[in-house]
């Protein structure tokens, strides 16, 4: 495959735009008039135009490089074929490399093989633009001034050369025309950023990580929920545990709330601002939050969270994380009096949701919906996880007027509905974030 090469500017030609040449068409005059720099020409010429070989029956432009093993291996065979058909056939070797590199190589090739390779174009950019390819060797066939197409190496045989000279093209397989290169790549820029080399349509996996950035606000997660079709999540000025909460929990379409996370670390002040002695703003601005974005395409959509875990292991090598089952104090929502709950089955035809921290007014909601609202909104700061332990298929109406973040006050209001949060120990899957002992051993 072509590697990046230093392209030499051909000042004598100026900037010649790439010409679109269709297979079966005569080469236009500007191509024949192209003046190229030569090395190893039998008459010692250092420059000439392609027009000087325009009357040759069959011209093969051999695009190659000294570092390309298949290209080099083909040169002796091709030169033997040229010797056989020397009055009708001309190989022109075309390279981007500099004159000194090519001359030294070709001199050694001539000495070792006993064959003098055909004259070679060096420092080329114009012919590469005119007959673009991303793979070498590449053989461009010109028969009686007509561009026939480009061949793979296995198609350039003595038998096929004989066929071409007899104007018999049946059975010769030409390369399919390559798509025009629409995106240029600048090695000084970031790949695929601002269209450098292409856009997001080429990205199967992309992640970015950086320190606190005041331009991005104070803590948010945005993006497209990952699925088998791919996804993208952006974490803006986020504290470290949240990365793990999402990576280890979101694979099950949820996330680990902080009350299901155990921080088994010697210094919690880097993970939780309440353990640092600083107020939240000071703690954030001290560099304890980070920005991270992960984007994957459909090819890796089902591996989003696996990739995120791998990223975290590289980004935060001082920590390790795993999931385990532990007995935890939990608030368990249970049905205490089913008859009372049945008395609140909905009579409404429309769903209505209204709530704030001092009450809720809900119509046509499931008991699971009420539980999720308590767990994810009102009690997200609870030190004990909330657990659902009930089965109830009917929709209900429920109205509470109390401080919704106080579980005991909520329980008082729930008495008339026949449901209650009971504190119990339950085996619960939790996330444990620990200091990485291997990191400490490596440092020692």
State how far the Cα of 162 lies from the Cα of 159, in Å rounded to an integer.
5
Could you count the other beta carbons within 10 Å of the beta carbon of residue 59?
Answer: 21
Please tell me whether residues 146 and 43 are part of one structural domain: yes
Please tell me whether residues 161 and 36 are part of one structural domain: yes
pLDDT the model gives residue 8: 32
CA atoms within a 13 Å half-sphere pointing along the CA-CB vector of 78: 27
Residue 3's pLDDT band (cuts 50, 70, 90)? very low
Where among 285, 316, 347 does a domain terminate? 316
Where among 264, 287, 316 does a domain terminate? 316
pLDDT the model gives residue 16: 47
Please tell me whether residues 148 and 245 are part of one structural domain: no
Query: What are the tens digits of pLDDT across the range 284-298?
Result: 999 999 999 999 999
CATH number at residue 81: 3.40.30.10
Please tell me whether residues 132 and 108 are part of one structural domain: yes
State how far the Cα of 165 lies from the Cα of 199, in Å rounded to an integer.
44
- Based on the structure, what is the number of domains in the chain? 3
State how far the Cα of 391 lies from the Cα of 409, in Å rounded to an integer.
24
Give the mean pLDDT of the chain.
Answer: 87
Residue 134 lies in a domain: yes
Where among 265, 289, 316 does a domain terminate? 316
The pLDDT > 90 percentage for the chain reads 57
Domain that holds residue 366: 328-432
pLDDT exceeds cutoff 80 at 318: yes
Burial of 285 (0-12, 13-18, 19+ CB in 10 A): middle
pLDDT exceeds cutoff 50 at 307: yes
pLDDT exceeds cutoff 50 at 383: yes
Query: What are the tens digits of pLDDT across the range 103-123?
Result: 888 887 766 655 556 678 999
Residue 238's pLDDT band (cuts 50, 70, 90)? very high
Residue 253's pLDDT band (cuts 50, 70, 90)? low
Residue 153 lies in a domain: yes
């Amino acid at each position: 495959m072509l590697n990046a090469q230093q392209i030499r500017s051909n000042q004598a030609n100026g900037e010649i735009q790439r010409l679109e040449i269709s297979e079966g068409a005569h080469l236009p005059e500007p191509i024949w008039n192209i003046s190229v720099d030569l090395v190893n020409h039998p008459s010692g010429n250092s420059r000439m135009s392609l027009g000087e070989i325009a009357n040759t029956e069959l011209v093969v432009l051999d695009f190659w490089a000294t570092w390309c093993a298949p290209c080099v291996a083909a040169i002796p065979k091709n030169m033997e074929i040229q010797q056989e058909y020397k009055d009708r056939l001309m190989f022109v070797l075309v390279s981007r490399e500099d004159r000194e590199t090519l001359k030294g190589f070709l001199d050694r090739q001539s000495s070792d093989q006993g064959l003098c390779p055909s004259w070679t174009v060096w420092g080329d950019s114009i012919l590469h633009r005119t007959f673009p390819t991303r793979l070498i060797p590449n053989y461009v066939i010109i028969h009686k001034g007509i561009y026939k197409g480009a061949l793979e190496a296995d198609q350039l045989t003595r038998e096929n050369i004989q066929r071409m000279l007899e104007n018999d093209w049946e059975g010769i397989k030409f390369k399919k025309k390559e798509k025009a290169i629409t995106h240029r790549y600048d090695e000084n820029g970031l790949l695929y950023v601002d269209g450098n080399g292409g856009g997001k349509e080429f990205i199967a996996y992309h992640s970015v990580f950086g320190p606190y950035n005041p331009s991005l606000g104070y803590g948010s997660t945005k993006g497209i929920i990952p699925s088998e079709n791919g996804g993208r999540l952006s974490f803006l000025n986020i504290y470290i545990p949240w990365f793990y909460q999402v990576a280890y929990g979101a694979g099950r379409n949820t996330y680990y709330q902080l009350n299901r996370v155990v921080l088994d670390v010697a210094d919690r002040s880097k993970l939780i601002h309440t353990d640092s002695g600083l107020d939240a703003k000071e703690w954030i601005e001290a560099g304890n939050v980070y920005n991270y974005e992960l984007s994957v395409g459909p090819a890796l959509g089902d591996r989003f969270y696996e990739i995120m875990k791998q990223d975290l292991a590289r980004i935060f090598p001082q920590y390790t994380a795993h999931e385990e089952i532990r007995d935890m104090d939990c608030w368990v929502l249970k049905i205490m009096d089913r008859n009372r709950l049945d008395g609140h089955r909905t009579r409404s035809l429309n769903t209505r949701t209204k709530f704030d921290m001092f009450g809720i007014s809900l119509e046509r909601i499931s008991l699971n919906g009420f539980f999720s609202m308590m767990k994810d909104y009102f009690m997200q700061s609870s030190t004990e996880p909330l657990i659902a332990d009930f089965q109830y298929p009917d929709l209900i109406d429920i109205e509470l007027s109390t401080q919704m973040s106080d579980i005991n006050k909520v329980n008082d209001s729930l008495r008339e509905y026949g449901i209650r949060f009971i504190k119990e120990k339950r085996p619960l899957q939790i996330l444990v974030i620990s200091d990485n002992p291997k990191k400490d051993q490596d440092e020692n």
